Amino acid sequence: MPIKLISSVKLSPLSLPRARLSVALAIAALSAACAVTPPATTVSPVTTAAPATLPGTTASAPAVVPPPRLVDSGIAPSNNDNSEYANFAQWKTVSSFIDEMVTKNGFTRSELEAVFNKTRFVESAIQLMKPGPPGKPKNWGVYRARFVEPVRINAGVKFWNTYADALARAEAQYGVPAEIIVGILGVETVFGRNTGNFRVMDAITTLAFDYPNTPTREARMAFFRKELENTLLFARESNIDPFSLLGSYAGAIGWPQFMPSSIRQYAVDFDGDGKIDLRKSPVDAIGSVAHYLQVHGWKRGEPIVFPATVSTDTSSENRWQAFIGQGLEAKFSLDELTAAGVVPTSSLASSAAGSKLFGLVDLQNGTAPTEHWLGTDNFFAITKYNRSFFYAMSVIDLGRAIRVARGG
């Protein structure tokens, strides 16, 4: 939710405000004129490079530039956001996190304590993270119907028509077809309609330090602590108040629902306005989705997925089952799969195979027969966006439905 905005993620405001800079320069000049050596400081400041000293002159003291600070615009939580004051700054685990952020990233303890004093506990984020009731069978048909439906298809046609040039440019630059980009934005947020109203600082902090009691609790808290670090770094780099970021209950942001780490690593300024804004710029969202998929293994011009069947002949001993659940990557040859009883139902699979590798995809259908597909590297690139076969297939099917509805 890798993550679906914001001001630039590339530029970090390291200079002082103009008024304070003038004062600093005046003090430096006065110190040089009086040949007074500035006192030593116990903090290692960021300094500008000292210019070369000309013969017969006295070197000026370098201007001291403190580390950038987080913006505080006084944003308060909504009265109906189901959050509550938690005094996070007093939690031992949060205090340790603050220590790490000060040492590793140059924040000051006072500014982070101020931030966590304003951060709220969101019980609904915890409830939404809890796994569903056990024993309920997965149902691909039901899942698909939530996303491949008239509202998303009609909105997708309008979106594609409006941003056809940007989609074509993204396809040319990154090799990702327009219908896949459109499919992801449609599944994630219905093209910007549902981007989430949780304050990202609140949701991610809650999950980072009080994740539900599940077998993966420690790993998930470590994940969200990393996302919390990236949230604070992103806000500082972008010169924005971290509490201005709104997103999903898991902290995903903007049209493509990028997590903060994904924004910092993969988001691009595709509209060329000098900043990355995944909340308000559909063009930045288009380019960022395409860039994300390219980095995660998308191969230009190659197929995505082929339908298949599996042999139920007892003589085959159902050897194909050994290819189920083998990770999110294409790593088996077509010969290996067919020898185990996996049969492509499209001649395109055989003709496109060559030296390509595939993964066996199973889409469980409740009490109905399971669908099987052969996924290529491009299919598994989509699963890096969301680690789910259901998700990847719904993106593919929605994108295709939108393309057909446009007459493409």
Over its C-alpha atoms, the chain yields an Rg (Å, rounded) of 26
**How does DSSP assign 5-42, residue by residue?**
--S-SS----SPPHHHHHHHHHHHHHHHHTTPPPPP-S
111 is catalytic: no
171, 179, 188, 227: the catalytic one is 188
Give all strands (DSSP E) within 151-304, no chain letters. 198-199, 246-247
| CA pair distance 17, 371, nearest whole angstrom | 61
Strands 342-344 and 359-365: unpaired
- Cα 309 from chain centre: 34
| CA pair distance 197, 64, nearest whole angstrom | 40
| CA pair distance 42, 372, nearest whole angstrom | 65
Cα 369 to Cα 135, 138, 366, 393, distances in angstroms: 17, 12, 8, 17
Residue 137 DSSP symbol: P
In 3D, which of 69, 72, 84, 86 has the Cα closest to residue 243?
72
Task: Compute how many other C-beta atoms are within 10 angstroms of the C-beta atom of residue 273.
Answer: 12
Tell me which residues are annotated as active site. Answer: 188
